Amino acid sequence: MKQDSRQHTLDRALDRALAYRPSQRTTFAQTVAGAPASLHFYEFFAGGGMARIGLGSGWSCRFANDIDENKAKAYQRNFQDSDELVVGDIAKIAVADLPGRVHLAWASFPCQDLSLAGNGAGLKGERSGVFWEFWRLVQGLRAEHRAPRIIVLENVYGAITSHEGRDMAAICTALAGEGYRFAPLVIDAAQFVPQSRPRLFIVGFADGIHPPVDLVCPAPLTAWHPEAFGMSFDLLDEAVRQRWLWLRLPEVPARALRLVDILEEEPTSVKWHSAMETQQLLSMMTPIHLEKVKAAKKAKVKMVGAIYKRTRLDDQGVKRQRAEVRFDDVAGCLRTPAGGSSRQIILVVQGEKVMSRLLSSREAARLMGIPDSYILPARYNDAYHLAGDGVAVPVVSWLARHLIEPAFVVSAASAVNEAVE
């Protein structure tokens, strides 16, 4: 009987090892075409499906959910085999609606209440608080012995400091309570695309799933673990701290994509400003930012700057709207449009010629690593919202290729060794 049990364990381990095929970088068309996949995932708060694009053709989506109908239409338009998408409130999703047991559950849950620019409600807020509805499903799956083997949570940097670290500590405690070891990381999309977008990723590993040993470090590293993590770490019980993993990812090659490279020659979703509108924009700049424009004029190449309009106090303490430009080859972090000031503007300077316009919807998508073959919503606001509210595609790919997929290889090999012994 014992020999049969050992053989059964060995067979299962071998099946897992042989079924796994590392995902290669594929075109979006190949991803949509439904190439054979051996790894399965759920995509919660799916938006336009950026996590799905980033994971690639080696992964098969078993269930997806989002409440936003416009994003859902884009998801369905781009993934023709998207019968797994359920549009509606996650609170109405039952554990029974989730098929099988998956390798991965991805959840880029709403950030509005955790953002530094938000209302400060944190995980008790109406939007970000839906994390607990997602967690209700994870608990239900675990009760049925179907818990996802790996969970990835993604949110804004403000989630780290929300309520002096108590919100992140609550998430870590929840993960530990359901048997997960967890690895918080901060990854900036600027390593891959010309957009400043630091985001918190918390990767949870179920029992039996092990990250590659060479990615494990004994203490935090500045590149991946900001000092602010200490706020949450210090709040945790010792048992939960023991489940905190310090991981690092391989160094990302130097980014080759420049801000000028993502510009459309003839955008259809936006128009260039008139000379008067551009001059009005320049008049909203402080001397510091006007000096940046002056320096750009002296450059011998086309310079592309990114502008956000922000409300600032002047020397008299009066609130004024200012235009702030950066020429460091990186756009500001895309935000969802909630009024004109949140839409990013580009400034193109070539000698004395200065032109301005809104960032186009396709350019916003490119800043998120979304391929041009992706069909964006026709309305500008819908397309900009889809991009600004999503997860950067190349960051998902980097996590998948260098951490998530190798973890299954390592775990399968470990299971084989244990069975043989």
Dist. CA 188–CA 330, nearest whole Å = 12
**Could you identify the residue written with the tokens 């210090």?**
234
What pLDDT, in 10s, does the model give residues 315-350?
888 889 999 999 999 999 998 765 444 689 999 999
pLDDT (0 to 100) of residue 225: 98
pLDDT (0 to 100) of residue 32: 37
Three-state SS for the chain is CHHHHHHHHHHHHHHHHHHCCCCCCCCHHHHHCCCCCCEEEEEECCCCCHHHHHHCCCEEEEEEEECCHHHHHHHHHHCCCCCCEEECCHHHCCHHHCCCCCCEEEECCCCCCCCCCCCCCHHHCCCHHHHHHHHHHHHHHHHCCCCCCEEEEEEECHHHHHHHHHHHHHHHHHHHHCCCEEEEEEEEHHHCCCECCEEEEEEEECCCCCCCHHHECCCCCCCCCCCCHHHHHCCCCHHHHCCECCECCCCCCCCCCCHHHHCCCCCCCCCCCCHHHHHHHHHCCCHHHHHHHHHHHHCCCCEEEEEEEEEEECCCCCEEEEEEEECCCCECCCCCCCCHHHCCEEEEEECCEEEEEECCHHHHHHHCCCCCCCCCCCCHHHHHHHHHCCCCHHHHHHHHHHHHHHHHHHHHHHHHHHHHC
User: CB neighbours (10 Å) of residue 274?
Assistant: 10
pLDDT (0 to 100) of residue 410: 83
Residues of the chain with pLDDT under 70: 1-37, 116-119, 337-342, 413-421
What pLDDT, in 10s, does the model give residues 369-406?
999 999 999 999 999 999 999 999 999 999 999 999 99
pLDDT (0 to 100) of residue 413: 61
Q: Which residues pair with 181 in a beta bridge?
A: 205
User: CB neighbours (10 Å) of residue 110?
Assistant: 20
